[in-house]
Amino acid sequence: MLKQIARTGFNTLRLPYTNQLFDPGSVPNGINYQLNPDLKGLQGLALMDRIIQGARKVGLKVVLDRHDPTADLRPPLWYTGQIPQTRWINDWVMLAKHYRGNDTIIGADLDNEPHSPATWGDGNPSTDWRLAAEQAGNAILAVNPQWLIIVEGIDVFQGDSYWWGGNLEGAAQYPVRLSEPDKLVYSPHDYGPSVYLEQWFKVSNPADLTHTLPAIWEKHWGYLQKNGIAPLFMGEFGGPSMGQDLEGVWQRTLVSYLHTQGISYAYWAWNADSGDTGGILNNDWTTINQSKMDVLSAYQWPMLDQPRFQSAITPGGMLVLPRVLDQQQVKPFANRRT
């Protein structure tokens, strides 16, 4: 599957994990060991290592995405009673140390989709996501200064509601302050009417969205890169349709906007069973959804590294993520998540 990801034109994998993965008693389930005999007996960090090794062999980079505290819970904040903030930070530091010097890992997506009661910039240590992102980001950089620190938004800022993790309005007044400022990348998520019929989707003609959506995006997150404040990485977007309906017009308009603005992105998701968005893979888990790739492949970048085994990908494969800050430069970078 990693070979197929690379052949399809992606150069980076956004790899979700939960802190539960690192519990000594946590064992994987749902793995077909007939298809994956080399994974038998692996758990926790050793299992993650094997995926990282596989990505390296085919020339893929990896963004680690702390997606949830535990496999069965999507909490609004980055911590719970079971997984406190100290554990969240300590696990990030452990990973930063463990993968220090491994150039396959390029960044840390600190927490997936924080939302209300999450706040931004109010100084409340229990809810202020901007403060928490600074603490975790600086703890990571203290042991691994090479990683990009990827910070998502919240949902509501000063009464203005947007997608979970998608509202970065607060970063204008309250920017994330890192010890290595050039490692900061803001990362909104954006979705279409298949996830929720937001007010801005209620138009008489789907084609109208091509004119109305860019202003909405610029207000909530696009201004950061457009005004040279910080680079953006669209960490998630996706949907079932690329057609002329609301969903399809939203997706195609978003890809066009990202392309015009030079904004990096990761598509949600590779997997076929991706809920209300569907995946790059069709439901047979083998063939590619060509309607999606016809749109995405118009905005892809080359591989960041030559694969360790050249036969793993087709020569000159294109990719699906644009640019992300790497040290002092903005370099080509593409990503997607499985």
- Going by C-alpha positions, the residue among 163, 164, 168, 161 that lies closest to residue 187 is 168
Residue 108 sits at φ, ψ, to 5 deg, of: -120, 110
Residue 206: CB atoms within 10 A of its CB come to: 18
Task: Give the separation between CA 112 and CA 15, rounded to whole angstroms.
Answer: 12
Contact assessment for residue 209 and residue 203, using Cβ atoms and an 8 Å cutoff: yes
Q: Which residues are the active-site residues? A: 113, 236
Report CA dihedral (162, 221, 149, 190) to the nearest 10 degrees. Answer: 50
Residue 224 sits at φ, ψ, to 5 deg, of: -65, -45
- Report cis status (omega within 30 of 0) of the bond before 117: yes
- Going by C-alpha positions, the residue among 106, 118, 9 that lies closest to residue 61 is 106
CA distances (Å), 132 to each of 84, 98, 176, 307, in order?
A: 12, 22, 10, 36
